Structures are given as structure tokens and as C-alpha cells.
Amino acid sequence: MNISEFAKIAGVSRSAVSRYFNDGYLSDDKRELIEKAIAKTGYSPSSAARTSKNRITKLVGVIIPKLSSESCARVVDGISEVLGNEGYELLLVNTANDNSREITSLELFRSNRVDGVILLATIFTPLHISVLKKMRVPVVIVGQELNGFDCVCHNDYGAAYALTSKMIEKGAEKPAFIGVTLSDAAAGKARREGFEAAVKDHGLELRTNFIETAKFDMDSGHEKAKHLLSGNVRPDCIFCATDSIALGAMIYCRENGIRVPEDIMICSVGDSKMGRASSPTLTTAHFHYKTSGMNAAEMLLRDLKHRDGIGRLLRLDYDIIERESTGIVKSDD
């Protein structure tokens, strides 16, 4: 069923039909005629043909590193809520942590197919930058800061600083750190710097053998905690870059009779569901992931309306959720 056939059935011209679907001039009787015919035939215009004319796809490309990560999923949740309300649909690309697929996806999106792109970024290479510069459609980056581009990010440094300070103020004197790769400027570099600054600002020593770099999962946290806690000097608190790492570390402690928080305090960033269910419950920084997704979508919508080429950085602050792993007796929620 195409527009001509349908127009014949409805008893109007093709243009009238087109106008009906595009908010053009139309008298009420024609409108009624068309509505009746739609009810009868179920006709709906081909979005492909439409796009090929006016170059509007009503599609937004979303590139993510790993869907089955809680934080990613929350961001996409927020994006889909806002964009859905504006009649946009999401073209989702899951790179499965393969950095090079971000490039190929961006290139795929560059030529056509989407009106805009939201990129949940982890690590930027020079290639990323050059491809991003060539994009013809607006792009919003989530989770990282990149000068000259629209970004929505979190206060990684601040959260790490606040959490570490909290543990020191509660009496910790030998703070340790389990982080992730410094190539990740947000979760890796900024959180590490926040930790280090807090240690220094409180006049404590920064022991290099109290710094570990883990992968993003529990097993790796477990392993690094073992390494950290097997030396002759034992730390009395650990700040972990992610909840999974912290949970792995807590499991190691439990297995080895090290009491949390009595012998060692542990906390991290992310506020994943796991941290509420664990025992002890986990002190963590809540990042407003869903909100950042919503705000990124709003930023993109703005660009779609009138793109002024000015890069905007929006940084969302964190909430500290104090729970048992740093000594709060009991205050879940």
C-alpha cells in the first residue's frame, strides 16, 4: 500500500495525504476522510521514502561499551525516556568493549541513517577525535570530558576525594587504592587523582605499594585485595574505583577473617544494586546515571533544533551513600 493507492481509497490527492502526515494545510473534511481510510487500511507512510526526501530519520545512534553494565543501562534508560517522548527511536550499537568498533560505528553514522549520536565513551584515542570532528550530525558524549564537544559527565574526581576524605576523617591512616586503567580519563585517571589529592591534603603518606590497578570486575577486585592485604604493612582503608571491585575486595576480606569495617574500611563509586545487598552494605558515591542520560538527550535535542557549534560541558554531582562498610552501624536507605 503506497500513498497513491491510499489517496485513491481515501478519495483525496496524494498531497493531501502527505500534508496530513506533515502538519500542512488541510481542511477538516479531508482530514476526516483520511482518518477514516487509515482506520480501514492501516496505512502508514514509508519512513524510508520520507527520509530519502527530507533527510530526517527520527533516529538517534547510541554507542555503548557494554550493555550489561548497570551504569550503561541506566544511562540508556534515561536517553530512551527523553528521546522517546520526542518521537525519536534509538539505533543501539553495543561495542562489547571493543574500542575500534566505536570508530566504525561513528563512521557508519556519519554518512546518514541517524539525526544525531550519543556516545558513552570510555577511552579516547587520537583517531576518535579526528572521526568525531568529521561528524556531520551533532554528537553528545556521556561519561567523559572532551574539549570542544558536547559532554555530560560525572564528578569522578570529587567523589573519589570526598569518599577518601571520609575514611581518613573516620580514623584511617594507611589508605589504599584499587583503580582501573588510567587510559580511562574519568573512571581511571580522575578517580585516582581524587584519591591522591585527599590523601595528601590530609597530610598522609602516599605509599606506591598501596596502589593497584584492576579490571572492571569482582574477580579482579578480589585478586588485587589479596595482593594489597598480603604485604607486611596492611592498609586500614581501601578506596575502589568501582563497586564490583569493592565487592570483590570485601569477599576476599570475609574469606580471610578480615573484618569490614572494623579492620579495614572499604568504599567505591557507582551505587550499584549489589552494594545494597552485600554484607556489610557498601558505602558508595551515587552517580546520577539515568539523569545524565536524560540530560544528554536534551542536549542533543537542542543541537538538533539549532546547532550553534559551541561545545557544552555539563557535570553532574554525586551523592555520598554511607553504609556499613565504612562504619555506619545500620542505615540502609
Partner DNA sequence: CTGAAAGCGCTAACAA
Partner DNA sequence: TTGTTAGCGCTTTCAG
> What is the binding site for DNA (CB under 7 A)?
2-4, 6, 12-19, 21-22, 24-27, 29-30, 45-46, 49-50, 52-54
Q: Output the CA torsion sign for 36, 37, 42, 45.
A: negative
- Widest pairwise Cα distance in the chain: 88
Binding track, positions 245-274, relative to its own copies; x by CB under 8 A: --x--xx--x------------------xx
226 CB burial (10 A radius; 0-12, 13-18, 19+): middle
Grid cell digits, residue 240: 575502589
Q: Which of DNA, its own copies, none sits in contact with 27, Cβ below 5 to 8 A by type? A: DNA
Q: How far apart are CA 105 and CA 117, in angstroms?
A: 10
Binding track, positions 205-244, relative to its own copies; x by CB under 8 A: -------------x-------------------------x
Q: Are 272 and 149 in contact (CB under 8 A)?
A: no
Binding track, positions 75-94, relative to its own copies; x by CB under 8 A: -xx--xx--x----xxxxxx
Residue 280, amino acid: P
Q: Are 279 and 259 in contact (CB under 8 A)?
A: no
Q: Which of its own copies, DNA, none sits in contact with 213, Cβ below 5 to 8 A by type? A: none
165: Cβ–Cβ under 8 A, 6 or more apart, which residues?
198, 201, 202
Q: How far apart are CA 253 and CA 246, in angstroms?
A: 10
DSSP-assigned letter for residue 281: P
Q: What is the SS3 assignment for 59?
A: strand
Identified binder of its own copies from the candidate list 23, 28, 29, 68, rule CB under 8 A: 68
Nearest CA-CA partner of 244 in 275, 223, 283: 275
What residues from 129 to 148 belong to the interface with its own copies (CB under 8 A)? 134
Q: How far apart are CA 80 and CA 216, in angstroms?
A: 25
Examine residue 328 and tell whether it contacts its own copies (CB under 8 A). Answer: no
Examine residue 26 and tell whether it contacts its own copies (CB under 8 A). Answer: no
Residue (18 or 99) nearer to DNA, CB? 18
Examine residue 104 and tell whether it contacts its own copies (CB under 8 A). Answer: no
Residue (15 or 85) nearer to DNA, CB? 15
Least distance in angstroms from the C-beta of 55 to its own copies: 8
What residues from 42 to 61 belong to the interface with its own copies (CB under 8 A)? 42-49, 51-52, 55, 57, 59
Least distance in angstroms from the C-beta of 49 to its own copies: 4
Residues that bind its own copies (CB under 8 A): 42-49, 51-52, 55, 57, 59, 62, 66-70, 73-74, 76-77, 80-81, 84, 89-94, 96, 108, 110-113, 134, 218, 244, 247, 250-251, 254, 273-274, 276-279, 290, 332
